[in-house]
Amino acid sequence: MKRNIIIDCDPGHDDAVALVLAARAAGLALMGVTVVAGNSGLANTVRNALNILAFAGAKDVPVYAGCGKPLERELLNQSGERIHGKDGLGDYRFDAEAERPQEKNAVDYLAETLNAAKEKVTLVCLGPLTNIAAAFRQCPECRRNVECLVIMGGAVYVPGNVTPAAEFNFYVDPEAAEIVMSSGCKIYLHPLDVTMRALFGKEEIEALRCSTSRLAQFVGSLLALYAGTYERELGFYACPVHDALCIGVLVEPTLVEYENTAIGVLTAGEMAGKCVPGAAGGNTWFGTKIDSGRFVKLVTDMVSAEE
């Protein structure tokens, strides 16, 4: 039986790879994609999601536009634009005809779909958690049908990538992150502690670009743009494909080792977005180790397989 998933995202190069993997994964049933502002403004992230799905042969997956700003503050996405470009994908040009987004708002879709679900649904959360938190606020009872949340976000024992304390997704909307992390749902959190090691280097990127597979060439081109930004900003040509790890662990759960510890999120001042580990146990497992080589091979194999 396939696992029902909804992806909430803000594409973004690494979101794009995650969407391609989800479209290719035989064991996953992608029910819908909800989109939030984050790596770029909402108009860009919605358009990117539609274009990526069309290119991946999944244009029938419905896409819902969600929140254009965080719950309680303005959107601060300068670092997102610095890494992902003004449109979120480095001005990549698609040759596939995309569908239009659904008329229903993403928050309404999440609340109604989860509340009415006959089978449990896994939420794969790749951007700021605004849509998810808003849905939980709107319909608290919908949480009963969430199998688990698989989240990319936070930094537990390593520095953040926006401030010394905070990773981008949690920094953009710390209030939403705190609502979700304290929701009582089962959570598998993939913080920078592991996603910074979900790394594609020059050889792996070039192998994708030179592949005979159209999807592999697409992913290779995106990662080349992404790695080029890292080279300009940080001085090395490589890129961590943060969000794709959340699909990777659904396909191969042993890619990541986890620690079962409660995680809180600070929401005020210079420490906003900081993860605070608490007592052992509870509903949250956060990643501590990753088999990087297996992750790279999994992504490469999935996007290179015959279409």
242 is catalytic: yes
Nearest to 9 by CA among 58, 54, 46, 61: 46
Dihedral angle at the C-alpha atoms of 233, 194, 225, 45, nearest 10 degrees? -100
Question: Angle 273-277-282 (CA atoms, 0-180°, nearest 5)?
Answer: 115
Which strands sit side by side in the sheet containing 275-290, from one edge to the other?
63-65, 28-35, 3-9, 121-125, 146-152, 187-190, 275-290, 256-265
Burial 119-128 (b: 16+ CB within 10 A, else e): eebbbbbbbb
Q: Which residue's entry shows tokens 């979101």?
A: 15
CB atoms within 10 A of CB 32: 19
Q: For residue 167, give every residue at least 6 positions away whose Cβ sits within 8 Å of its Cβ, in sequence order, or none.
A: 153, 154, 155, 160, 161, 191, 192, 273, 275
Q: How, if at all, do strands 28-35 and 3-9 pair?
A: parallel
Rounded Cα distance between 112 and 100, Å, is 21
Rounded Cα distance between 286 and 45, Å, is 27
Q: Which of 13, 84, 190, 242 is catalytic?
A: 242
What are the catalytic residues? Answer: 242
